[in-house]
Amino acid sequence: MIEFTIISWIMALLVIGAAIYAIETKDLLSSAIAAGVASLVVSIMFLILQAPDVAITEASIGAGLTMAIFVYAIGKTGRWEK
Amino acid sequence: MVMHPVLMIAIPLLSAFIMPLIKKAHRYFAFSILLLNTALSILLFAKVYNEGALYETIAGFSPPVGIYLAVDNLSALLAFLINIFATINFLTSRQDFRFSMLYLLGVAGATGIVLTGDIFNMFVFFEITAVASYALVASKKDRKATEGAIKYMILGSVGSVFMLVGIAIIYSQLKSLNLYDIAARISSMDPKMMWLSFSFLLTGIGVEAELFPLNGWVPDAYEGAESNISSFLSFGPSKASIYAIARLLIIFSMSRTYELALYLGIVTLLVGELAAFTQKNTKRMLAYSSIGQMGLILIAFSLMDKTSYAIPAAFFIIVSHASAKSALFLLSDKDGFGDMSSKYAGLAGVLSLIGMPPLAGFWGKWYLLMGVADEKIWAVAAIIIFSAVIEAIYFARYLYKNMEGKESSRNSIPAAVMVSISIVMGILPILYNMAGGVLNA
Amino acid sequence: MRKVAAIVIASAFFAILLISFYQIPQSGYSGSEYYYSNPITGSHANESVPSHYISGTKNETGAVNAVTAIVVEYRGFDTLGEVTVLFTAATGVAFLLHKGKGGKKRAEANLILREGSKLVLPFILLAGAYIFIHGHLTPGGGFPGGAVIASGFLLMMLSYPKFFMKEKPVSITESFAGITFAVIGLLGLLFASSFLENFLPLGNAGYLLSAGIIPVIYIAIGFKVGSELSSIADKFKEVQK
């Protein structure tokens, strides 16, 4: 069980780190990618918590589609936060 | 007679799905669906009024396991109000089929909020009506509309997350999502968790219900949107969500939560009315005045546990506000009431809002003051009267400015019809008994 | 100053959530404190709702996957609502962005990306279809399956700048899938006693053709979610300048 605890802590720290980076960075493109990373790690956490249904959805929507839509929107506006 | 309230939600959803296939006749189609819905809501009210509260299970599972709709007198009346105003308001739309789809979905969502008896189902309908409203607000596609829509969308999505967390806390404690079941067992919940979930839910719904610290989006969205959409916002989502707050208060039903709602209502009332007093722009003035009226409705609902006047008071303020304010918003696309019907609608609407007898607004304030007087909370009575005076002053200014105008709005006839409905409901004090019936749970 | 205030508020909020997380009783499903009461009959049951879901899924719905049974049967009305939320969002995006086609030329992707994405597209679509057709048997269902299909189309959009979703077939698929869902609900009202109630035979649990209306609804949801998500992505691509 101890390894699950360690993995969960690492994942939690990764999610928090990615989330803070997504908010703080001035580069919107890396912000979108960081949000995607957070989603991906969350989906792995769902898998560890035995919720495969949610994990599939989170991986394809959170890490895939949402990020692509963000990137398209950034392409339409501008890459740098003012 | 068999009555299925679920049809009032399912048919608009189905027709919104059909809409892209029949692009040409979309306006007639949507209008006839709205008419059908209004007819169904009248039948529903007749049935509920004669036979008491109506429950309909969905998917054939008994309630705490499955979802159910719970319809009482007040929710049937609100469903009727939302649908009839939606029908009238729809006459003023001049957009393409996607507008009709979004409008139908928004109306179906608002109807769902008042009819459902399940807290997660309520959340889903909140989402439907909120997402539809964001798009409708932005439909004007200019800078102001977009700004209003973005503010609305950000606050609204944060609000939905809060609501979802509140629901999750309740489910983690009671293992149930059914409103009745929760209400029956809420006392077994740890008081700290109860407060936590209550504050999450109140924050979430409060964004839609335009309560004080959460209503930053209101003036911008109402000002930016097309005038018929401002009108839709003021009778649809906001009224449904204030009713959701009433159900929330009944579920938690602690004296402290009622007290909190009372203070929140008072602050919202004062902030809204004072801000409206200082506004020059007509639509912003009307929007702030809406905030004030929502505060008044919340005050009425927060006295629910103390006096039997509270629910009729809230109902009449809702009727008066939904009809008169929607009509005024419809008229606000031009400065001035040029023709007779807009003069009539503007005058009667303002009189109802400031509470002239025998209009609906008067009965609302009258019952509210009766309730407050019963409880001998004179400070609240003083605040209500003070705000009514402020309201009268700025509405007098508004009338003075508009009666001079020569231009007339294209929407004057629907507006006149809306106000007439409020007048009819106002002079039927028989509705006092109807609205005073059982409120579910 | 604003940043400090934001950090203080956020950490206070985090602390409240953390404290309350530790206060949540950790007891499991069983135990009589979680009895529920039926609002219509007023009777009480000696079972909690989650344990009813776990024990009743197989007999009441014929599905093996309890999550699917909850999503499509027990709380099917919510799912209809959620599908509608997505539909509303897609309609809103189309409503607001349908002007302004074309945009600047983008460079072609390189050969490996182009040919590779052509090669994997059928497999992605197949995986998506598998996920939603087998929703009542294995993890997954209409939403994930549809999302996987949409991500396949997204891959094509990324590797071929000129790749477009044709608007008409997409919107017709979307409409028909939605109509199927709502009509199945209404048929439940007609053939059984309530909206969305199962009216097809349950069959043998564990087989592909079982669980009554669940596979039908999930196939409809899969098509609907897939077409909606890809049309949203397509709309954003279309207006790119």
Q: Give the model confidence (pLDDT) of B257-283 as tens digits.
A: 888 888 889 999 998 888 888 888 888
Query: What mean pLDDT comes out for the span B4-17?
Result: 88
- Interchain CB distance below 8 Å, C40 and B135: no
B412 located within any domain: yes
Provide the number of structural domains found in chain C. 1
Whether residue C122 has pLDDT greater than 90: yes
Among B6, B17, B136, which would you mutate to test the C interface (most chain C Cβ atoms within 10 Å of its Cβ)? B17
Whether residue C208 has pLDDT greater than 90: no
Query: What mean pLDDT comes out for the span B162-181?
Result: 85
- Interchain CB distance below 8 Å, A56 and C140: yes
- Distance from chain centroid for Cα C97: 24
Among A16, A43, A65, which would you mutate to test the C interface (most chain C Cβ atoms within 10 Å of its Cβ)? A65
Smallest CA–CA separation between C1 and chain A, in Å? Answer: 16
- Interchain CB distance below 8 Å, C144 and A73: no
B317-352: pLDDT as tens digits: 888 888 888 888 888 877 777 777 777 888 888 888
B228-268: pLDDT as tens digits: 888 888 888 899 999 999 888 888 877 788 888 888 899 99
Whether residue B124 has pLDDT greater than 90: yes
Whether residue B31 has pLDDT greater than 60: yes
Identify which of C131, C154, C236 has the shortest CB distance to residue A73.
C236
Please tell me the least confidently modeled range out of B5-14, B416-425, C98-107.
C98-107
What is the pLDDT at residue B109? 92
- Interchain CB distance below 8 Å, C150 and A76: no
Query: What mean pLDDT comes out for the span B187-202?
Result: 83
C232 located within any domain: yes
**C-alpha pair distances (Å), B207 with each of B151, B238, B245, C98, C185:** 11, 9, 11, 29, 32
Q: Which amino acid is at B243?
A: Y
C99 located within any domain: yes
Residue C158: partners with Cβ closer than 8 Å, 6 or more residues away:
A68, C109, C117
Query: What mean pLDDT comes out for the span A47-75?
Result: 85
Chain C hits for A56, Cβ within 8 Å: 131, 139-140, 144, 147-148
Distance from C-alpha of A26 to C-alpha of B359, rounded to nearest angstrom: 56
Smallest CA–CA separation between B298 and chain C, in Å? Answer: 26
Asked if C122 is an interface residue toward chain A (Cβ–Cβ < 8 A), one would say no
Whether residue B93 has pLDDT greater than 90: no
Q: Which residue range is the domain that position B266 belongs to? A: 254-441
- Other Cβ atoms closer than 10 A to C29: 15
B134 located within any domain: no
Whether residue C32 has pLDDT greater than 80: no
Is A64:A58 a contact under the CB 8 Å cutoff? no
What is the pLDDT at residue B432? 53
Pick C161 or B166 by higher pLDDT. Answer: B166
Query: What mean pLDDT comes out for the span B16-33?
Result: 85
Count residue pairs from A and C with Cβ separation < 8 A: 51
Is B116:B122 a contact under the CB 8 Å cutoff? yes
What is the pLDDT at residue B130? 92
- Interchain CB distance below 8 Å, C139 and A53: yes
Smallest CA–CA separation between C70 and chain A, in Å? Answer: 12
Query: What mean pLDDT comes out for the span B284-306?
Result: 88
What is the pLDDT at residue A51? 85
- Binned at pLDDT 50, 70 and 90, residue A15 comes out as very high
B323 located within any domain: yes
- Interchain CB distance below 8 Å, C175 and B18: yes
Q: What is the mean pLDDT of chain B?
A: 84
Among A15, A40, A43, A61, which would you mutate to test the C interface (most chain C Cβ atoms within 10 Å of its Cβ)? A61
Chain C hits for B134, Cβ within 8 Å: 92
- Interchain CB distance below 8 Å, C151 and A53: no
Domain range list for chain A: 27-82
- Interchain CB distance below 8 Å, B176 and C87: no
**C-alpha pair distances (Å), C236 with each of B98, B131, B234, B258:** 17, 18, 31, 46
Chain C hits for B117, Cβ within 8 Å: 39
Beta strand C36-37 pairing with B67-71: unpaired
Pick B20 or B357 by higher pLDDT. Answer: B20
Chain B hits for C81, Cβ within 8 Å: 112, 121, 124-125, 127-128
Smallest CA–CA separation between B403 and chain C, in Å? Answer: 36
C35 located within any domain: no
Asked if A82 is an interface residue toward chain C (Cβ–Cβ < 8 A), one would say no
Distance from C-alpha of C144 to C-alpha of C147, rounded to nearest angstrom: 5
What is the pLDDT at residue B439? 43
- Binned at pLDDT 50, 70 and 90, residue C28 comes out as very low
B101-119: pLDDT as tens digits: 889 999 999 999 998 888 9
- Binned at pLDDT 50, 70 and 90, residue B129 comes out as very high
Residues 52-81 of C with CB under 8 A from A: 65, 67-68
C65-109: pLDDT as tens digits: 888 888 888 888 888 899 899 899 888 888 887 655 555 566 677
Chains linked to C by 3 or more Cβ pairs within 8 Å = A, B
Provide the number of structural domains found in chain B. 1
Distance from C-alpha of B206 to C-alpha of B200, rounded to nearest angstrom: 10
**Which chain C residue shows the shortest CA-CA distance from A24?**
C3
Q: Taking each helix axis as running N to C, give the angle between helix B227-235 and helix B282-302, from 0 to 180 degrees, rounded to the nearest 10.
A: 0
Asked if C144 is an interface residue toward chain A (Cβ–Cβ < 8 A), one would say yes
SS (HEC) of chain C:
CHHHHHHHHHHHHHHHHHHHHHHCCCCCCCCHHHCEECCCCCCEECCCHHHHHHHHHHHHHCCCCHHHHHHHHHCHHHHHHHHHHHHHHHHHHHHHHCCCCCCCCCCCCCHHHHHHHHHHHHHHHHHHHHHHHCCCCCCCCHHHHHHHHHHHHHHHHHHCCCCCCCHHHHHHHHHHHHHHHHHHHHHHHHHCCCCCCCCCCCCCCCCCCCCCCHHHHHHHHHHHHHHHHHHHHHHHHHCCC
What is the pLDDT at residue B438? 42
Chains linked to A by 3 or more Cβ pairs within 8 Å = C
Interface pTM (ipTM) of the complex?
Answer: 0.87
What is the pLDDT at residue B440? 40
Whether residue B150 has pLDDT greater than 70: yes
Percent over 90 (pLDDT), chain B: 11
Pick B171 or C23 by higher pLDDT. Answer: B171
**Touching status, chains A and B (3+ beta-carbon pairs under 8 Å):** no
- Interchain CB distance below 8 Å, C40 and B124: no
B428 located within any domain: yes
Map tokens 């044709």 to a residue. Answer: C166
Smallest CA–CA separation between C92 and chain A, in Å? Answer: 15
Chain C hits for B174, Cβ within 8 Å: 34
Residues 174-193 of B with CB under 8 A from C: 174-178, 180-181, 184-185, 188, 190, 192-193
Q: Which residue range is the domain that position C135 belongs to? A: 61-238
